[in-house]
Every structure is written in structure tokens, then in C-alpha cells.
Amino acid sequence: MIKGETSPALEAPAQALPGHRVDLGHDEPLKLDCGVELNAFTVAYQTYGRLNADRSNAILVCHALTGDQFMTGDHPVTGKPGWWRQLVGPGLVLDTNRFFLICSNVIGGCLGTTGPKSINPETGQPWGLDFPVITIRDMVRAQRQLIDHLGIDKLFCVIGGSMGGMQVLEWASSYPERIYAAVPLATAARHTAQNIAFHEVGRQAIMADPEWHGGKYQEAGKIPRAGLSVARMTAHITYLSEPALHRKFGRRLQDRKELTYGFDADFQVESYLRHQGYSFVERFDANSYLYITRAMDYFDLASEHDGVLANAFKNTPVRFCIISFTSDWLFPTSENRDIVHALNAVAADVSFVEIESDAGHDAFLLDEPDFRNTLRGFLNGCAERLGISAQ
């Protein structure tokens, strides 16, 4: 165990989770965009594969809104396979025989890293809404401290989709000298009005649930299940495409063969959505959902650089591979192309591929052959250049 780690068994229940945890902030406080400084925070993370002798094969994977550090293998909470099982493993695209993968739960999260459900040391109570509002840049600052702690000077690559892609862009902008390659997937350099609107609906649904108790539901021994479930259902629709929903469900009815003329789930798509909502509540914290959606809404990389996105990447030494998906209407190709244009404007090393897929935004979680091959080609090409081979 690396120095500074706490024992997973020391605190319950988040602390009972498997994997690594490290207490940071003591030597260097985490200076948040909102002005608050955290001088004690925990980062929970998983690693996959082995760090090579010259510490040159580390890939930081940034998870999306409701993702976490458990990319593959059985998830300790849900028991289901991890969210990137299709890509992470021996011989897979993110080849654990070749690379050392690090994935940490974001600050504000609910799977071991400090967030609103953690105990506020000043009060001995859960932070709740007293937790400071965090930003994508704050998430990246916490990750940078983790990477320092792990003794890695330069990451081979930072990769992530959706909110993970926002973190990748922020890494490339804030710490260009600390990364060799960057792969932002299905993402944007700013959250659009429509996406802010969808997030706002989710937050309103949570905050309207009386079981939310003004954010103090833990103290009340309650969970705002209904509100969080509705938030998840809305969001889930936006992760898919109409063609994907049509292919999966169309207007097919549930077990019953006929319309019931009632308000139970008649259509398969209804019962699927309800299941998505209910099961989400078992693994995610409602206040974390508020904080992380807010971080995404606030993200606007150009605004951190005098309103000019290209300024975020001036003289960047980073190699970029940007990938979008044709049916993704949440982070459409046009948003990804805006990033490419900004990188072109500073003569950065950038490749851009739009993958044909009808899976919607969630395509980046799937093993789409063109996606897999594009990603494999880019990573292996960069690895060859740096002389990183399988161990």
C-alpha cells in the first residue's frame, strides 16, 4: 500500500469498498474554483495492469457523470460488470498487458472520493449542500495530486468520454507538459443550453422530492428515490438515440400482448426506463448527482481563456485523438469538431474521426468495431513511438 492510504475497512460504508484510497490535501490544499480550499480530502481509485520501470505507460481514465473507478470486473455495489469492460483488459484496446490504467472517482462523487455524502470534519455531519460546488477543473486538480502521489511525472495518455472527455480537455489545457496524448471522446468544450436544461430538470426532480430534505436526507435516514429515479430516466433517454430505442423496443408491448388502458408500463420502453431509474438509486447519491451535473453545466473551456478556445491549447505538445459518434445528439459531432478547429488553429497534432453508429451518446461505452480500431490504432501508434511494449 502506498504511503498515505487509509485502510478500506476503517470507515463504512464507502470506506468498505475495495480498491485504493489516498488522503490528500495536507501538503497542498485543493484550491477550488469557487474559492474554497480543501486541506483534507480522499481520492478513491483503481488501477489495472502494471506501471513499467520508467513509469511511462500510465493512462489516466476519466469517468463520466455516473461512472466510477470500477471500469471492469464485477462492480462492488451492483455486482454487474464495469462500465468499460468492452475495452479494458489483457489484449483489449486499453491493454492491461501493455498499459498501467488509473481511474479515480471524481471529487464530488459518491464511491469513496470526498463528496457531499462525506463527513464534514468541522461538523461531524455529512457535508450535504454545504459541500463546495466543484468544477471540471477541480476534478482535474484532484487527479493531478493523485498522479503526483503515485510518482508519475508524465502520463502516457488521458482518456475519457462525455464528462470524462471534458476532464481530458482540461488536463490538456492545464497540464500539457504532464501528458503525452489526449483522447476526448463524445464530448464538448462547453455544455450547451439544451444539456444544461436537461440537467436542470433532473436537479429539480431531486430537489422536489420531499425525501431530499433540503439535502439532509442522510441525517433523516431517507433517500430521495423517486426524484433521483426521474432524473436518471430523463438523462437515460438522452444517452440513447431514437433509432437505438426503436431498434431495441419500438412500440413493442410488455408480456401482456394487448394495451391495458391503464398507467402501468404497457410498452417495453417504459418498463426499461423504470428499471433504469430504480436501479440507479441503489448505486448513486442524489447530492452527488446535483454537484456533478452542476460541474458539467459550468464547463466552458473557452471562458477560462478569454473566450477563445484555441487559447486553451497554445503551443501544446499533446497529441490529440478526437472521436465523435453520428447518432450522439447530446454531444454531437459539431461540438467535437469545434474542439478540432481550435486545435487546428494552434497547429496542434490532432486526428479526428466521426464513427458511424446508431447507439447515441452511449456508443463510447460499447465495443463498436470502428471505434475500437480507431482507438487501438492511435494508442498503439503512440506507444510504439515511445517504445512502450507489452510486459
Residues that bind its own copies (CB under 8 A): 33-35, 129, 132-133, 190-194, 196-198, 200-201, 203-205, 207-210, 226-227, 229-230, 233-234, 237, 240, 242, 245-246, 248-251, 259, 261-263, 265-267, 269-270, 273-274, 277, 290, 294, 297-298, 300, 329
Q: How far is the CB of 356 from its own copies (least distance, A)?
A: 18
- Exposure of 383 in the CB half-sphere (CA atoms within 13 A): 22
Helix (H, G, I), strand (E, B) or coil at 268: helix
Q: Which of 156, 331 has the CB closer to its own copies?
A: 331
Q: How far is the CB of 111 from its own copies (least distance, A)?
A: 22
Length of the chain, in residues: 391
Nearest-10 Cα torsion for 230, 233, 236, 240: -140
Q: Which of 36, 51 has the CB closer to its own copies?
A: 36
Q: Which of 119, 197 has the CB closer to its own copies?
A: 197
Residue 269 CA to residue 142 CA, distance in Å, equals: 39
362 is in an annotated binding site: yes
Outline where the chain has alpha helix (H).
136-149, 163-174, 193-208, 217-220, 225-239, 242-248, 268-283, 286-298, 333-345, 369-386
Q: Which of 129, 340 has the CB closer to its own copies?
A: 129
228, 206 Cβ separation under 8 angstroms: yes
Query: Which residues, including other chains, have CB under 8 Å from residue 73's CB and lie 6 or more apart?
Result: 81, 82, 85
77, 283 Cβ separation under 8 angstroms: yes
**What is the separation, in whole angstroms, between the first and last Cα of the chain?**
22
Q: How far is the CB of 307 from its own copies (least distance, A)?
A: 11
Residue 366 CA to residue 325 CA, distance in Å, equals: 11
Q: Which of 63, 190 has the CB closer to its own copies?
A: 190
Q: How far is the CB of 212 from its own copies (least distance, A)?
A: 11
- Taking Cα atoms as reference points, which of 366, 352, 5, 12 lies closest to residue 183? 352
299, 196 Cβ separation under 8 angstroms: no
Q: How far is the CB of 35 from its own copies (least distance, A)?
A: 8
Q: Which helix (H) or strand (E) segment is 126 a member of?
A: none
Query: Which residues, including other chains, have CB under 8 Å from residue 262's CB and lie 6 or more apart?
Result: none
Query: Which residues, including other chains, have CB under 8 Å from residue 207's CB and lie 6 or more apart?
Result: 227, 290
Q: How far is the CB of 141 from its own copies (least distance, A)?
A: 15
Residues annotated catalytic, as ranges: 162, 328, 361
Q: Which of 170, 297 has the CB closer to its own copies?
A: 297
Residue list, annotated binding site for substrate? 232, 362
Residue list, annotated binding site? 232, 362
